[in-house]
Structure 1
Amino acid sequence: MVPFLLITDLDNTLVGDDRATQTLNQQLQSRRSQFCLVYSTGRSLASTQELMAERQLLTPDFLITGVGTAIYRWESDFGSAQLSLDVHWADRLSEGWQRGAISALAQQFEALIPQPAGEQNPWKLSFWLDSPEAEAIVLALQTALAQQGHPAQVVFSSGRDVDILPELANKGNATAYLQKTVEIESAATIVCGDSGNDISLFEQANWGIIVQNAQPEMLQWYNTCGRSGHYLARSPYAWGILEGLNYFHQVL
């Protein structure tokens, strides 16, 4: 069993400063056998793979995509690595999830602009919301879902991204599932993030790194709910991850 689990968001956390990403990659690669690497992102699988190729990211052991709605692992098959969807996680998310009815409800909110089809999946409805009343709209959407009996949640992040997900689906719950899968406890898990959809990661892990360029909703959560093991870096992007890992005396 690997000593610990390193889980990081991609956009504006691991990715955002190419030199920082390359420096961190080099440091991580030199100790690659000492940890299990997971990328946890709001992106779709296809978009994540494009970003990995474009930025020459390390190949992780697992991918959590779509804000925790899908988990993939790399498996060796006759000498080549193949991505495999975790069907057990998918089955758990499908329980009570009525995507069609929820989509119809969301259409009643004119301010919600559907994101491209590539960013949707069977367990995720994604929208853009650009409005000074964004917080009130999100609250009204949450209320409407609850009133109609849908076991769903609304995640608002980066000041404009709205995701409607099954009640169980988020980065934190996906992390908890992975911890059981690879038999690594929260005490041996470090998470890294910058925005609202990363908050559930920090709720799940004892140790976490919030990069300096974090979004206001992430900083607000840290100031009110952050734990002693959550480190607010003075450096942005991957520099912040490197700083935090040095602080924790892990990996590097």
Structure 2
Amino acid sequence: MVTIYYRSSWNPCYIHAPVGGHWSSHPMSAHPERRKWLTITIEDIKEFVFTNGNEKWDNPSPGQNYKITGPGAYAVFHGKIIEIKPAKRPVLLISDLDNTLIGNYQPTIEALARFNDYWIQSHYFTGSKLVYNTGRSLEEFLALYEEGYQILDPDLLVTAVGSTVYTLNFDTGAYELRTDYYDLFNQDHWDSHIVDRMVQQEFPWLILPDNCHIYPFKIWFTAKTKDVNKYLKDLKVFLRNPENIVTNGKIIKAKTIVSGRYDMRYIDITPLEGGKGLGVTYAKRLFGFDDKDTIAVGDSGNDIGMMKGDHWSIIVANYEDDLIEWLRKKERKNILIAEHMFGDAVQECIEKIHNTY
């Protein structure tokens, strides 16, 4: 038997193949977990095409058919056949996006395509879960599709440096807020608007960004690197509030998360328990993965929170200095520094991790 997975918005959609000695069309069904993916299990075939049953056809090239070598499972993604070869075990992959899986020049686009092929081949249909844990807002994440990035739909989306969490509605295609995530925050010591007013008044070197900078459990600014080097310690002490000063009825307790490179930095301010690490905790609970099968991937200082704990982590070869400086302070055998950059680092290190078992 042959199982075929096919990504298409056609409804209905048919596979057209020589079954029982003659070419015929057979309806495909929606995959129960992968939106816009269709599937069919059919008797052994060696070649096929797809059709919507109304004069539209998908061939690899005009007059040609998709061809496979024999029984098994195959995915057809952007005109390419990918043979499904499950990994040794399912994993929970929690990855940053910018400068980790995606970039804006050709080698990074090619690396993303290789990651997609690998994930589809070994994980996408065999029990693994994919989580994007990004500094982007939901709107900024959705803009990636509009800009042409061919990213796979995640099983969970953590946005704004661990501030909010969404899942994709299978029927509507909309990302829906998971409000139960907010229960993980200590709201007694946080109010975004109070924190915003406090730090703007006390630290004028913080620069307001052009777009939205206030989220339910995060505010953010930019700053010149020279100012960060000079004043960051003062900001950290102010936010820790060791004297428990009450402001507008709240004893604010917060922390900073610094990322970026060169002359400018990003300054994220969150509750003490906030940051990308909280997204890791939530994803593990939601999907039921333990540390040995949970893998975080990142490149920058705001990924440090993802890499604390006993689960595996991958640092891509194109890392920022802040991340490596943190790692050098304490040896962590569960963190791998990849030889490859961007999406290529994922396959490299997952295979290394699986070889330890």
**Aligned residues of 1:112 and 1:129 also touching (Cα < 8 A):** yes
Query: Is the aligned partner of 1:64 residue 2:155?
Result: no
Paired residue secondary structure (2:93): strand
**Aligned residues of 1:44 and 1:120 also touching (Cα < 8 A):** no
**Residue 134 (structure 1) aligns with:** 228
1:129-181 deviations in Å (ceiling 9; x for gaps): 11314134222112112234412111111140001112221111221122112
Give me the whole-angstrom Cα distance separating, in 2, the residues matched to 1:32 and 1:13.
Answer: 19
**Residue 10 (structure 1) aligns with:** 97
Paired residue secondary structure (2:221): strand
Look at both structures and tell me which one has the larger radius of gyration over its CA atoms. Answer: 2
**Aligned residues of 2:192 and 2:215 also touching (Cα < 8 A):** no
Change (3 A) 1:119 1:242: farther
Give me the whole-angstrom Cα distance separating, in 2, the residues matched to 1:52 and 1:232.
Answer: 29
Matching residue within 162, 169, 179 for 1:75: 169
Give me the whole-angstrom Cα distance separating, in 1, the residues matched to 2:283 and 2:340.
Answer: 28
Uncovered stretches (5+) of structure 2, i.e. residues with no partner: 1-88, 246-250
The within-5 A match list for 1:42-61 is: 42-53=135-146, 54-61=148-155
Q: Percent identity?
A: 29
Matching residue within 158, 180, 186 for 1:88: 180
Give me the whole-angstrom Cα distance separating, in 1, the residues matched to 2:327 and 2:344.
Answer: 19
Give me the whole-angstrom Cα distance separating, in 2, the residues matched to 1:117 and 1:90.
Answer: 23
Change (3 A) 1:207 1:131: closer
Paired residue secondary structure (1:181): helix
Query: Is the aligned partner of 1:152 residue 2:254?
Result: yes
**Residue 179 (structure 1) aligns with:** 284
Structure with more of its chain in strand, by fraction: 2
The within-5 A match list for 1:212-251 is: 212-249=317-354
| Offset, 1:93 | 2.9
One-letter amino acid of the counterpart of residue 39, structure 1: Y
| Offset, 1:121 | 1.6
| Offset, 1:205 | 4.6
Structure with more of its chain in helix, by fraction: 1
Q: TM-score, normalised by structure 2?
A: 0.65
**Residue 218 (structure 2) aligns with:** 124
Uncovered stretches (5+) of structure 1, i.e. residues with no partner: none
Return the structure number with greater relative CO, CA threshold 8 A, min gap 6: 1
Give me the whole-angstrom Cα distance separating, in 2, the residues matched to 1:134 and 1:5.
Answer: 35
**Residue 248 (structure 2) aligns with:** none
**Residue 191 (structure 2) aligns with:** 98
Give me the whole-angstrom Cα distance separating, in 2, the residues matched to 1:215 and 1:150.
Answer: 30
| Offset, 1:203 | 0.5
**Aligned residues of 1:206 and 1:227 also touching (Cα < 8 A):** no
Query: Is the aligned partner of 1:28 residue 2:119?
Result: yes
**Aligned residues of 2:193 and 2:214 also touching (Cα < 8 A):** no
Q: TM-score, normalised by structure 1?
A: 0.91
| Offset, 1:245 | 2.2
| Offset, 1:116 | 2.8
